[in-house]
Amino acid sequence: MITAAEVRQEADRLLSEFMAAGAVRVEAEILQPAETFLDLYGEDIRGRAYVTHDPFRGEHLLRPDFTVPVVQAHMAEGQEPARYTYAGAVFRAAENGASQAAETWQAGYEVFDRNDPVAVDAEVFARISELLTNVPVRAATGDIGVLMAAVNALDTSDKRRAALMRHIWRPAKFMKLMKRFSSATIERPKAGMPANYPAIGVRDVSEVMERLKTLEEEVTAPSIKGEDVAVIDQILALKEKSPEAVSQLRVMATNMPALMPAIDLIEARLDALTNRGVKVDDLDFEGSYGRTSMEYYDGFVFGFYGVSDNVETAIATGGRYDALTSILGLGRSIPAVGGVIRPKALLELRGTV
């Protein structure tokens, strides 16, 4: 049984390793303003976080992660380039009846650097990999930028593309929308609203009418072509070693050339990882990887998994979140990537070796 003291001691060790690599230690309040997270993720965040209300300070939630407050602090007063580290507990509600702990400790490493993004991707991945060399882990990678490029290339309405982009991190909803938007027939909404229709719920009449207008526009919007649906299905189903994944993505790009810049970026990243000593021929790439994480990853994503009793456990995860810096930077932005190690999971895996 791993004790709380052992978890804190391991977190401190990881923190020291990141500081030795040049990262500055930062702190983040356990209670975070709910407004920021609600603006980022909508009401869905309430089902994944612990929300509390203070009559004087307003609605807050227990810190669901460190990245958002670290980005806020950096965009407010950080120097460039910058490397940060932190350690502490995050709090997330279990999803779909899962038995995960409500409180989980993390030790993290975040880099803000606009000079060479693929080199920084490789740095963060390699830095975390080096701290896991003495335990048996499987590394998985992906790149959400490929799926984003595919969605942006779809020959359909702006509103449909925006809806798909909004739900990239909700796989079931995304596929439901893809099926709807590729259908040749869409049910026409009932026109207008009856006079003196009572206002029920939180939406007012103008919001309901705007929604009806959007549904009406869908009827005439061009359906997503079958060949484009096929490319997106192929991306999501892709699971190969990284070099072979690049080859298959290039084949897909013959039907959707807009994928090429994202594919070139993956290939450049593999070169950067090779320069860091990573054996990319053995590195897994999954086209759908990272889509069930917090909704700010928009490029390279990765994870390290330990296997015990035929069950895979996430030991470390991370990825790139350039768009988040723009959203929280009030007009400013900077390429950024980071990752976290879960000290308790690491200790448990180490105990099985």
> How does pLDDT run along the chain (353 residues), one tens digit per residue?
899 999 999 999 999 999 999 999 999 999 999 888 888 877 777 777 888 888 888 889 999 999 999 999 999 988 889 999 999 999 988 665 555 678 999 999 999 999 999 999 999 999 999 999 989 999 999 999 999 999 999 999 999 999 999 999 889 999 999 999 998 655 545 555 555 555 555 556 666 556 556 655 566 678 999 999 999 999 999 999 999 999 999 999 999 999 999 999 999 999 999 999 999 999 999 999 988 766 789 999 999 999 877 788 999 999 999 999 999 988 889 999 999 999 999 999 998 75
- Give me the residue spans of the domains in the chain: 4-28+63-149+230-352, 158-195+204-225
pLDDT at 183: 85
Q: Which one-letter amino acid corresponds to residue 272?
A: A
Rounded CA gap, 89 and 100, in Å?
14
What pLDDT shows up at residue 75?
Answer: 93
68-97 per-residue burial string, b: 16 or more CB within 10 A, e: under 16:
bbbbbebbeebeeebbbbbbbbbbbeeeee
Tell me whether strands 82-91 and 24-25 are parallel, antiparallel or unpaired.
parallel
CB of 180 within 8 A of CB of 322? no
130 phi, psi to nearest 5 deg: -60, -30
So what's the pLDDT on residue 188? 47
The CATH number corresponding to 4-28+63-149+230-352 among 3.40.50.980, 3.30.470.20, 3.60.15.10, 3.30.930.10 equals: 3.30.930.10
Axis-axis angle for helices 158-166, 205-220 (nearest 10): 110
Q: What are phi and psi of 228, to 5 degrees?
A: -75, -40
Give the model's pLDDT for residue 204.
Answer: 60
pLDDT at 39: 82
Phi, psi of 260 (to 5 degrees): -55, -45
